[in-house]
Amino acid sequence: MTLMPPALRPHFSYSGLRHGARAALPAFPGFIMFALAFGTAAAQKGLSLGETLGLSAFVYAGASQMVGLEIWQQVWTPATILTIMTVTAVVNARMIMLGATLQPWLKHEPLPRTALNLFLLTEAGWLIGTRYHNEGGRNVGVLLGCALILWLVWLATTFVGFFAGALVPEPKRFGLDLVMPIFFGVMLVPLWKGAKPALPWLVAGLVSLIVHALVPGYFFIIAGALAGVVAGMLIE
C-alpha cells in the first residue's frame, strides 16, 4: 500500500470536483434531451411540478422515471405503490453492477461521501469515471464532480421540459433522439484493449439483441450486461 505511487492511491480533492465537472461535458446533450423529454411527458401526463422535480431529484434514473410515468396514478393504492417500486427496482437493478466495480476505488472514503456519490450514480457518470480510473486517475472528487454537475443539468432541464417541452423543436431533425447511444458508443473507444478483452462485449450485445426481441421493456440491458460479465469470468 505504501509502495504505491500517490496518484494510484484513492484520494479526494476539490480540484478533482472541477476536473470531474469538466469531464462530464460530453454527457450533457444526452442528459438535456432525456430530461427535456421526461419533463414534457410528465406535464402531459398531468403530474405537478413538485412531483416531476421530485422524481428527477430523488429517483434520478431516466429509464425508470419514464417507465414510472406509464404506470403513474391519480389515486394511489398500496398495490400500485408496490407495483411502481417493483418496476423501478427491475429497471434499475443494473446499477448494482456499476457499484460493484466502484468498490475498490471507494473503500477508504468516508461513508457520507460515498452515500452521496452512489446516490448520484448514473451510467454516463460511471463511464466517465471508469475511463478516468482506467487511465490511472484515483481522485474520487472527479467521480463526485461529474455526478454533481450531471444531477444539476438533469434537474434544470426537467424544469425547462415541464414548462417549455412543447416549444422544443423536433429533436429527430438534429439526430438528438440518438444522442445517448452515440455518447455511449464514443465511450466504448477508450475501453478498447484489443479483440480478446472485447469478446465478452460481443456476448453482451448478442444476448441483449435476443432478449430485446423476446421480452418487452428495458430488461435487455441487464440481461446483456450480466451475460458479458459471465463471459468475462469464463474467458481466461
Positions 157 through 196 that interact with other proteins (CB under 8 A): 172-176, 178-179, 181-192
- Residue identified by cell 429527430 is 172
85, 113, 132, 136: which one binds other proteins (CB under 8 A)? 85
How wide is the angle at C-alpha 92 spanned by C-alphas 40 and 148, nearest 5°?
65
Q: Is residue 200 within 8 Å of residue 228, measured between CB atoms?
A: yes
Instruction: Indicate whether 228 belongs to the interface with other proteins (CB under 8 A).
Output: yes
17, 21, 41, 64: which one binds other proteins (CB under 8 A)? 64
Q: Which stretch binds other proteins (CB under 8 A): 1-9, 11-19, 83-91, 151-159?
A: 83-91
Q: Which stretch binds other proteins (CB under 8 A): 7-15, 34-42, 52-60, 155-163?
A: 52-60
- Alpha-carbon distance of 35 to 118, in angstroms, equals 20
Q: Which stretch binds other proteins (CB under 8 A): 3-11, 79-87, 137-145, 149-157?
A: 79-87
Minimal CA–CA distance to 201: which of 210, 218, 188?
Answer: 188
Minimal CA–CA distance to 166: which of 63, 29, 42, 55?
Answer: 42
Choice between 44 and 197, CB closer to other proteins: 197
How near is the Cβ of 41 to other proteins at its closest, in Å? 16
- Alpha-carbon distance of 219 to 207, in angstroms, equals 11
Tell me the CB-side half-sphere exposure of residue 37, using CA atoms within 13 A: 19
How near is the Cβ of 97 to other proteins at its closest, in Å? 6
Q: Is residue 24 within 8 Å of residue 125, measured between CB atoms?
A: yes
Ranges within 4-33 binding other proteins (CB under 8 A) = 25-26, 29
10, 18, 69, 92: which one binds other proteins (CB under 8 A)? 92
Instruction: Indicate whether 45 belongs to the interface with other proteins (CB under 8 A).
Output: no
Ranges within 123-162 binding other proteins (CB under 8 A) = 123, 127, 130
Q: In the chain, what are the helix, strand and coil shares in percent, each to the nearest 5?
A: 80, 0, 20
